[in-house]
Structure 1
Amino acid sequence: MYPFPQSVSPAVRTHMDAQTAFLNDMSKSMFRSFQQICDLNIQLVQTMLEESTLASQQVLSADRQTEIFTAASSRAQPATEKLRAYQQHISRLAADAQVELARVTEQHVQNTTRTARALVDEVARTAAEETERNIRTQQEAMRNATDPFVRGNGDARGDGDAQRGQMEARQGAQQAAGQGGRPAGASTH
């Protein structure tokens, strides 16, 4: 197996390993089937060459024309049977290949499905976390954009002492106005 970069999550690694194992087993199965078909083809060609060599020898050694026809006809029937056997063997190999591929698929489908679910769950969790982080960032940006002169804790920015002094003076004037316009500390007679 090829090593994965450190940034790849364990769920992705597990899923990729399951997929790789599945593909490796499928390719091995297909290669075995292909090899069996090639072996069968080689065997057919060798048999046909042997048959044609024997037929050629009989035709060349024949003295009469009837012997030539007899030799040719005697080889036609076995060749037809061999081709029929070849077709049956090819059909059997194809059926066996399908069964093998189904077995490999069934063997890996549970593991691949499980790792795919884990991967989907991790992607969903990561997406939710990232969305939450983006929402918090946007909310903070909106707070800062709403009142650029207010700090995050609600205090006014800038010269805080001068502004506080002005606010206290206004509050004092309002209180004095509420006491009948008399300055604070003046006595009534």
Structure 2
Amino acid sequence: MFPFPDIPNANPALRSQFDAQVGLLAQLSQRNCDLFERLSALNLQMARQAIDDAIDTGRELAACTDPFQMSATAVHRLQPAGEHFRSYQQELFNVLANTQMQQMQQMQPAQPTQTVREAASGFSHPGRPPGDTGPR
């Protein structure tokens, strides 16, 4: 995966384990960067929408001539802001759920190629002739 200088006395099993660990860390780092990118884009979108809502609310409040009209206008502008926040929450939940689902799929252990009983049957037991696998 990631080449590193050959060490003359390197154990091949140790090297393969090291390669696997480095690969796992690289994969986790990439996923974290992708998640951070998606969350940053979502937060930036929410911030822009909040600023636009605040500007629109300010313009409507500045256009009010009656003080009682200002409170009605302010309450009226709460509904779009609440809908935008609800949309943000839903998108945030979707991003986090998709990330968790991807992690769960990646973390599932590989299916073993043989069972423990099959692996143990290959060993000879003391006091038994080779090939005798019957119960005692």
Residue from 97, 103, 106 that aligns with 2:105: 103
Runs of 4+ in 1 over 6 A off after TM superposition: none
1:53 paired to 2:66: no
User: Cα distance, 1:104 vs. partner?
Assistant: 2.7
Gaps spanning 5+ residues in structure 1: where?
115-189
Do 1:25 and 1:104's aligned partners in 2 also have CA atoms closer than 8 Å?
no
Distance in 1 (CA, whole Å) between partners of 2:8 and 2:68 is: 82
Residue from 72, 78, 84 that aligns with 1:70: 72
Higher RCO (C-alpha 8 Å, min separation 6):
1
- Residue identity over aligned pairs, in percent, reads 22
> What is the TM-score when the length of structure 1 is the normalising length?
0.53
SS at match of 1:6: coil
Q: Which has the larger radius of gyration?
A: 1
1:35 paired to 2:37: yes
Aligned twin of 1:129: none
Distance in 2 (CA, whole Å) between partners of 1:42 and 1:16 is: 39
- Alignment deviations for residues 69-124 of structure 1 (CA, whole Å, 9 cap, x no partner): 22211110111122122122211111111111122333xx54xx99xxxxxxxxxx
Distance in 1 (CA, whole Å) between partners of 2:106 and 2:26 is: 10
User: Cα distance, 1:47 vs. partner?
Assistant: 0.1
Distance in 2 (CA, whole Å) between partners of 1:27 and 1:99 is: 17
SS at match of 2:4: coil
- Alignment deviations for residues 150-172 of structure 1 (CA, whole Å, 9 cap, x no partner): xxxxxxxxxxxxxxxxxxxxxxx
Larger deviation, residues 53-62 vs 27-36: 27-36
> What is the TM-score when the length of structure 2 is the normalising length?
0.71
Do 1:33 and 1:97's aligned partners in 2 also have CA atoms closer than 8 Å?
yes
Distance in 2 (CA, whole Å) between partners of 1:71 and 1:63 is: 11
Do 1:30 and 1:97's aligned partners in 2 also have CA atoms closer than 8 Å?
no
Distance in 2 (CA, whole Å) between partners of 1:57 and 1:91 is: 32
SS at match of 1:62: coil
Gaps spanning 5+ residues in structure 2: where?
114-136
Larger helix fraction of residues: 1
Distance in 2 (CA, whole Å) between partners of 1:27 and 1:100 is: 14
Distance in 1 (CA, whole Å) between partners of 2:83 and 2:8 is: 62
What RMSD, in angstroms, separates the aligned Cα atoms of the two structures? 2.1
